[in-house]
Amino acid sequence: MSMADIRDSAPVAATGTQIDVRGLEIEYETSGGPVHALGPIDLTIGAGEFVSVVGPSGCGKSTLLKAVAGLIRPSAGGVSIGGAPITKPHSDLGIVFQNPLLMDWRSVLSNVLLQAEMRSMPKQQATAKAKALLAQVGLAGFENRRPHELSGGMQQRVGICRALLHEPPLIMMDEPFGALDALTREQMCYDLQDLWLERRPTVLFITHSISEATLLSDRVIVMSKRPGQILAEYEMTRPRPRLLDDDEHPEVDRVSREIRRLLGVTDHATTKKAS
Amino acid sequence: MSLAWQAIAVLFDLPTYILPTPVDAAESLWTNRDELWAATLVTTGEVLAGFSIAVVISIPVAMLLVSFRWFETVVYPFIVLLQTVPKIALAPLFVVWFGFGILPKVLVTFLICFFPILLDTMTGLRSSNPDMASLVRSMGGGTWAIFRKVRLPAALPHVFAGVKVAITLAVVGAVVGEFVGATQGLGYLLLRANANLDTPLLFAAIAILTVLGLVLYYAVSLVERLVIPWHVSQRAEGTVTTGPAV
Ligand SMILES: Nc1ncnc2c1ncn2[C@@H]1O[C@H](COP(=O)(O)OP(=O)(O)OP(=O)(O)O)[C@@H](O)[C@H]1O
Ligand SMILES: [Mg+2]
């Protein structure tokens, strides 16, 4: 593995695209009247930056991701990607949705290859790439199964392979490891870290896991309850590749505590000690 | 069941024109086999023609209805109106217009089959997860790609539900069409047997119509199994085995 070289040499030239979010607000029309789901949000994600978003359930994280991807129209403000204002769905990216969104009528492999079909990628190369990705996430031998024959965590991994197949310069992931067991989740985190170190895509990563956020990110964004706004941002500067059990690291320790405090988690052990 | 039937007919000593024994019906089936076979072919032809035309027309119409708001606003009320007119009442009119040939029968069959397929296809085309459309859009796909890759395959199970209802109604349509004016077909034979009090022949024709309905229904089910093996309704492991394990 060439990870050591990457660390020691000058940073790999970023292949990612910059994202600018300005005054973004989203209101959903519902039968019970408009629901103010998000914003206003101001956020810049640099080219090749890895940004995580954490926040309480229902605060608008998925809404933010969809709005940035151009999949829902802002009620106010807007988004630019690579300097160009987004007016329709942006397609130069890979998205992992919160729900695996696999097509029942396609095999696992064919679900991953949907990406290739839609982008007219050469069939043979794409198939080889898809098989390699599936093997990497531990799904070798499942290529010809139907999605319903897979567990929730396996389905999620298929969705991840589909989002990465075309090596996009921008990756958006909505709680991609939510349904995984602890060990697979760790492995996937490390794989994602490697991928990012190799190619430096811009990543918008939504998670409920503070350890995932502190492991992977250049910056962690904490969102408030609905309508979601940015409560705080934390730069994560410790060198990569990082390890998950680095809780002792002062930066990780401090940021984790602050996020927990912001999100209202009371730590009885510390409060007792302090008093 | 036919044993019980035979027993009732014999025990109560019912005259043959009220309730023939299964043996009588089977005999009639055999002696009139040539005529019954010819009639079966005619009726089957009408059923298949009306049904096929309904499939070929209703599915694209359903696509247009769900794709274009204005089309739905303008056309759908007419379709509902057409559906509310009892098609059986239209049959005599069709005889006046189109004579005693197979056209009026095909038309009645078509009209009976059209609505269930249309309605279920529309429901199906509206049933896919909107996030699935977002997924395709994020891959650069437009409305047509979403339609082809998501909405159409997701609609197929519903389409088949409608098609299965339609195929059972199709036989009724053809027979009704023959009732009001025909010179051949099983419906025509039924009327003639009735007029002659030839109840065994009546029963033979009914038996054939039932078998015809069953065969057509299972043919459609077979196609369904081949086309959408992935759907929950078609999965072997989806069937829960009831009853004792041994
Ligand atoms: N299509 C919709 N129509 C109406 N309201 C919606 C819609 N989607 C989301 N909402 C509302 O917007 C708010 C934010 O939803 P969103 O899915 O973005 O939350 P989230 O932060 O991703 O939550 P979670 O962590 O549970 O996934 C919620 O209150 C939700 O009820
Ligand atoms: Mg969400």
Q: How would DSSP label each residue in B166-218?
A: HHHHHHHHHHHHHHTS-SSSHHHHHHHHHHTT-HHHHHHHHHHHHHHHHHHHH
3-state secondary structure of A15: coil
B139–A115: do the CB atoms touch at under 8 Å? yes
d(CA A232, CA B29): 86
Is A93 in Cβ contact with B230 (below 8 Å)?
Answer: no
Closest by Cβ to B134, choosing from A66, A93, A104: A66
Whether the ipTM is more than 0.95: the answer is no
pLDDT, position A267: 58
Measured from the alpha carbon of residue A32, the closest ligand is: 1
What average pLDDT does the structure give for chain A? 86
Q: What are phi and psi of B148, to 5 degrees?
A: -75, -40
Nearest to A233 by CA among A95, A43, A72: A43
Q: Which of A247, A248, A241, A258 is nearest to A50 (CA)?
A: A241
Q: B interface mutation test: which of A79, A105, A106 has the most B CBs within 10 A?
A: A105
Domain ranges of chain A: 3-93+168-266, 98-167
Nearest ligand to the CA of A39 is 1
Q: Please list every residue in chain B whose beta carbon sits closer than 8 Å to the beta carbon of residue A148.
A: 230, 232, 235
| Residue type present at position B52 | S
CA distance A26 to B29: 72
Which residues are close to ligand 2, an ion, with C-beta < 5 A? A 62, 98
Exposed, middle or buried: residue B6 (CB in 10 Å: 0-12, 13-18, 19+)?
A: middle
Contact A150, A142 (CB under 8 A): yes
- Per-residue pLDDT tens for A83-130? 889 999 999 999 999 999 999 999 999 999 999 999 999 999 999 999
pTM: 0.81
Give the whole-angstrom CA distance, residue A14 versus residue A78: 24
Q: How large a percentage of chain A has pLDDT more than 70? A: 91
Least CB–CB distance from B132: residue in A93, A101, A118: A101
Q: Which residues contact A153 (CB under 8 A, 6 or more apart)?
A: A179, A180, A181, A184
pLDDT in tens, chain B (246 residues): 777 777 777 777 777 777 777 778 788 878 888 888 988 899 999 999 999 999 999 999 999 998 888 888 888 888 888 888 888 888 888 888 887 888 888 999 999 999 999 999 999 998 888 899 999 999 999 989 999 999 999 999 999 999 999 999 999 999 998 888 878 888 888 888 888 888 888 888 898 999 999 999 999 999 999 888 888 877 765 445 444 544
What topology does CATH give the domain B26-228?
Answer: MetI-like fold (1.10.3720)
Residue of A nearest to B148 (CA): A118
In our burial notation (b when 16+ CB lie closer than 10 A, e otherwise), range A36-58 reads: ebbbbbebebebbbbbbbbbbee
How is domain A3-93+168-266 classified at the CATH fold level? Answer: Rossmann fold (3.40.50)
Q: Which two tokens stand for residue A24?
A: 């973004």
- Sorted by sequence, the CB contacts under 8 Å of residue A150 that are 6+ apart come out as A108, A142, A158
Which residues are paired to A38 by β-bridges? Answer: A26, A228
Amino acid identity of residue A263, one-letter, is L
Q: Which residue of B has its CA nearest to A107?
A: B230
pLDDT lower than 70: segments of chain A: 1-15, 265-275
Instruction: Decide if A95 and B135 are in contact by the 8 Å CB cutoff.
Output: yes
